[in-house]
Amino acid sequence: MMDQAILEYGREKVFQKQTLSRWLKLPEPDREALLELARGLRIGENHFRDFLDWLEEISLRDGASLSQILKGKSIALIWSDSRLGRNDKLKRIKEELRRLRFPRLVRLEGEIQKKIRQMGSGPQIQMTVVPGLEGGALTVQLRATSHEELQRLLAVLRQFSERTEMKEIFDLLAGREQGAELSA
């Protein structure tokens, strides 16, 4: 019955055979939990594969089943939040799963974002790092509409470059963070 529902869902969303086969090979409670999630969020194949990869990898690492992970408090809270629409729920649950899958990376990305916010650069000076932090670079983007404005922004940027937060961002990007947060 449930497998039939999975196959129907797969047909409706045009899932590849391999994806459906992975889904159908899971233990029954996991199959069911994923079906509930997929139907509730109307998940397409690309998102579904990410979910499945991350859930299996978390499961392997933590020894919890896929359904236990999905029924965990952090995901259950988002799932049951009636204020959130389908898109927001999908986005938030995916973020939460990414956090569970990559806890140290997400923590580090969060620390860098926090330091960027602390500097309060405003909309004309944007500082960003790529998700995953590959390349070890901070991208700084200036938006000026006149020569004077550009000079003012460059002066502000120079001040930012002297800030402790800025040095700490580069330390974090180069794996030189304080403490042992990155240790396994």
Partner 1 sequence: MIFWRGENKVLNYRPDEVIVEIGSEESPILRNLRRALPDVPFTLVEHPKSFLSALQASRDPFGKGKRRLLLMRHKGDFLKKCPGSDGQVCCNYFVINFASNCPMECSYCYLQDYLAQNPALKVFSNVGDLLEEAHKLLSRHRRFFFRIGTGEITDSLALDPYIGISEEIVPFFAEQPNALLELKTKSDCVEGLLRLDPKGRVVVSWSMNPPKVIDEDEHLTASFDERLVAARRCQEAGYRLGFHFDPMIEYPGWEEDYQGMIERIFALVDHQRVAWISMGVLRQTSSLKRIMRQRFPSTRLLSGEQVLCPDGKMRYFQPLRVRMYRKVLRWIREASPTVFVYLCMESKEVWKQVFGFSPSCERELGNQMAHH
> Which residues here bind partner 1, judged by CB under 8 A?
56-58, 60-61, 101-105, 108, 132-137, 172-177, 182-184
- How far is the first Cα of the chain from the last one, in angstroms, to the nearest whole number? 42
CB nearer to partner 1: give 1 or 60.
60
In whole angstroms, how close is the CB of 166 to partner 1 at the nearest point? 16
In whole angstroms, how close is the CB of 114 to partner 1 at the nearest point? 16
CB nearer to partner 1: give 6 or 108.
108
In whole angstroms, how close is the CB of 148 to partner 1 at the nearest point? 35
CB nearer to partner 1: give 155 or 182.
182
* 20, amino acid identity: L
In whole angstroms, how close is the CB of 167 to partner 1 at the nearest point? 15
CB nearer to partner 1: give 57 or 95.
57
